[in-house]
Structures are given as structure tokens and as C-alpha cells.
């Protein structure tokens, strides 16, 4: 009797243990943790990245799935509570972004998600470019220098140099813009070679710019524009005179030299005709009018200077017909 009672008492205890054990085997999952094995979320292009995901509690088997912006990347199964490792390669900018891990087992509604991770690309800086609006300056003038790297993860720190000496504190830029400083030219020592360097969080990647040579601007004389204007005026006058020679001066000279004395075309004659008492200074022939057969010929004569008389003018009408000339000379009173 005692033995039977013991069996009855012991049976419920054994069932409770079995229920507890069964309940323990179907334990609800905890939220998984997604962490980078290398401890940093800054990556470079073509870098291999390893992400660890695991739940601290839950009934195996457990299935882990890695997502990138709600798109499945990879999935792994575990029969225990050991972590899974997802291996990735950053091949392009599209591989950056938000990553999450999901853990699930056979218990209904047992899906659990981790916190998201965001990778940022750590790109080395490119060679910076140093520039200025002008490569020449005068003493007392302020010169602006600009330095920028077109590539490289932000922020980027720029440092300016004159020769090998730093001239101002470093400038840290959080945006893709040039770092700008102003340099006051106080003496001749401020002229010379300038440069700048750029660096970011990428290790052992400091880049230096091109050399920029700042020189003294030459003082221009105020008389230079006047001299240039005078030279241009003289050149234009010389060209005008050269063009006038064949069109005006030479024809006029030839007309005076070769004009006939008894021409009926209206030319003047300057040939001297000697006579006994006086000589012809010049003759003038009026042009022939249409329909007329005569022209007026005026001859100006000068007598001996000792007589101290005024010059006499002789007029004559000449008949022009078949090359013949007629008409007496007469002198008006």
C-alpha cells in the first residue's frame, strides 16, 4: 500500500517536469543583434564586410535572414544559439544603406528583427586644386586662395602653405565646397609659391595640390595709351597719304604739265611766249558751250617792269571750225 501511494505521488511530479522541459524547448526568441565584426560602419570600395547576427535566447532551430532595405540578401540556419555570419562585398554605392537581420523559429509569431545598420563609404580624397582669380598682385592687395578635392568622403580638412610653412589654421569642410582663405600682400616675401593639402578619415591618404606662383604685378605707365594713340593716328595719316598719291596728286600734276596752250577744252597754259616788247604770262580759254562756234580766249601780258605800268589783258574771240582759228586780238579799254 505504501508503495502504490508513492507511485501515485511521484507520477504528477514527473509529468510537471516533462511539461516544464517541453515549455523550455519552445522558448520564444529574443530580438537578434546585428553587429559588424570589424567594429566600424565606414567602408571603402571593394571592401569585404562581415556581419554577425544571433539571438541570446529562443528554441532552436533558428533561421536568420539578412535584409537590405527590405530586400533579402542572404539566409542561414542554426540548430543552436550560436551566431551566424553574413559576408558581403561593397562593390558599388548601391551596396551601402540600411541592413537588418530577422530571426525566427517554429513557434507561431516568433519573428524578431534587429536594429538597422547603415554603412557609409569612406573614400580617399583626390588631389586638391588650388586656384585664385589672378596670379599677380600688388603690395597692399588682398588675394583670395581656394582649395578643393572633387572626391573623398566628408568631412575634408584643408591646410594652406606658403612654401613649406603653414600660413593659416586648417579649414574643415562638411560639404563638397572649396575652402577659401584671404592673404594680405604686405611685403615682397608674400610673393612666391603657394600650395594646399587635403585629408579625411581615410588613413595614410594625404594629398597635396599643384603649386601656385603669386607674382608682383607690373606698374603700367600712364603715357602708354597716349603713345599708342599717336602711333595709330600717324599710321592712318600715312595710309591716307599713300592712297591719295595715285588718285589725286599724280593726275593733277600731269594735267598741269601737259596741258596745250590753245586747247579748246578749257585747260590753262603756263608756257611763256616771248615777243618784242612783252610776253604772255598765261592764257585762259573758256569752255565751249553747246551750240557755239566761238570761245573766249583771254591773254594776260606783262610789259617791261621799268615802265611800272599795270599788266594789260588782251581778249580775243576764236572761231573753232575744222581746226581753224579766226578772229583778231583786241584789247578792251
pLDDT digits (tens, 9 = 90+) for 78-104: 999 999 999 999 998 888 889 999 999
Pair 173, 154: CB distance under 8 Å: yes
Instruction: Answer for the pair 198, 128: CB distance below 8 angstroms, yes or no.
Output: yes
Measured at the alpha carbon of residue 125, what is the angle toward residues 119 and 130, in degrees to the nearest 5? Answer: 150
pLDDT at 166 over 80: yes
CB 301 within 8 A of CB 313: yes
- pLDDT, one tens digit per residue, over 115-142 is 999 988 888 999 999 999 988 999 889 9
42: pLDDT strictly greater than 60: yes
pLDDT surpassing 80 at residue 321: no
Q: What is the pLDDT of residues 109-121, one digit of tens each?
A: 668 999 999 988 8
> How far apart, in whole angstroms, are the C-alpha atoms of residue 65 and residue 175?
36
Higher-confidence residue of 322 and 155: namely 155
Instruction: Give every CB contact of residue 106 below 8 A, 6+ residues apart in sequence.
Output: 26, 59, 61
pLDDT of the residue at 246: 74
Find out whether 88 and 96 touch, Cβ atoms under 8 Å. no
Q: Which helix H or strand E contains 57, and what residues bound it?
A: none
pLDDT grade for 231, boundaries at 50, 70 and 90: confident
Q: What percentage of the chain exceeds 90 in pLDDT?
A: 40
- Cβ partners under 8 Å of residue 167, min gap 6: 160, 161, 181, 183
Residue pLDDT, tens place only, 184-199: 999 989 999 999 999 9
Q: For strand 62-68 and strand 42-43, is the pairing parallel, antiparallel, or unpaired?
A: unpaired
Amino acid at each position: 500500500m505504501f508503495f502504490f501511494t508513492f507511485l501515485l505521488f511521484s507520477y504528477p511530479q514527473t509529468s510537471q517536469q516533462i511539461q516544464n522541459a517541453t515549455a523550455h524547448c519552445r522558448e520564444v526568441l529574443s530580438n537578434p543583434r546585428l553587429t559588424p565584426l570589424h567594429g566600424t560602419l565606414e567602408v571603402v570600395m571593394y571592401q569585404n564586410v562581415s556581419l554577425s547576427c544571433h539571438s541570446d535566447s529562443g528554441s532552436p532551430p533558428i533561421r536568420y535572414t539578412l535584409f537590405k532595405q527590405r530586400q533579402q540578401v542572404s539566409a542561414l540556419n542554426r540548430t543552436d544559439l550560436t551566431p551566424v555570419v553574413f559576408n558581403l562585398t561593397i562593390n558599388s554605392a548601391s551596396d551601402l544603406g540600411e541592413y537588418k537581420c530577422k530571426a525566427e523559429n517554429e513557434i507561431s509569431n516568433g519573428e524578431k528583427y534587429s536594429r538597422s545598420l547603415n554603412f557609409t563609404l569612406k573614400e580617399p580624397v583626390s588631389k586638391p586644386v588650388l586656384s585664385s582669380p589672378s596670379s599677380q598682385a600688388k603690395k597692399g592687395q588682398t588675394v583670395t586662395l581656394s582649395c578643393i578635392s572633387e572626391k573623398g568622403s566628408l568631412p575634408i580638412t584643408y591646410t594652406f602653405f606658403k612654401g613649406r610653412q603653414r600660413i593659416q589654421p586648417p579649414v574643415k569642410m562638411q560639404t563638397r565646397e572649396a575652402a577659401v582663405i584671404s592673404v594680405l600682400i604686405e611685403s615682397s616675401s608674400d610673393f612666391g609659391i603657394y600650395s594646399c593639402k587635403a585629408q579625411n578619415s581615410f588613413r595614410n591618404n594625404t594629398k597635396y595640390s599643384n603649386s601656385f606662383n603669386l607674382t608682383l604685378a607690373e606698374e603700367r605707365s600712364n603715357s602708354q595709351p597716349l603713345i599708342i594713340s599717336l602711333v595709330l593716328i600717324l599710321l592712318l595719316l600715312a595710309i591716307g597719304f599713300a592712297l591719295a598719291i595715285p588718285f589725286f596728286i599724280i593726275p593733277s600734276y600731269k594735267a598741269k604739265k601737259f596741258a596745250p596752250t590753245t586747247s579748246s577744252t578749257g585747260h590753262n597754259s603756263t608756257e611763256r611766249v616771248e615777243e618784242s616788247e612783252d610776253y604772255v604770262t598765261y592764257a585762259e580759254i573758256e569752255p565751249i558751250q553747246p551750240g557755239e562756234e566761238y570761245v573766249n580766249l583771254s591773254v594776260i601780258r606783262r610789259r617791261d617792269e621799268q615802265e611800272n605800268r599795270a599788266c594789260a589783258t588782251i581778249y580775243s574771240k576764236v572761231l573753232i571750225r575744222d581746226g581753224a582759228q579766226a578772229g583778231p586780238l583786241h584789247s578792251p579799254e
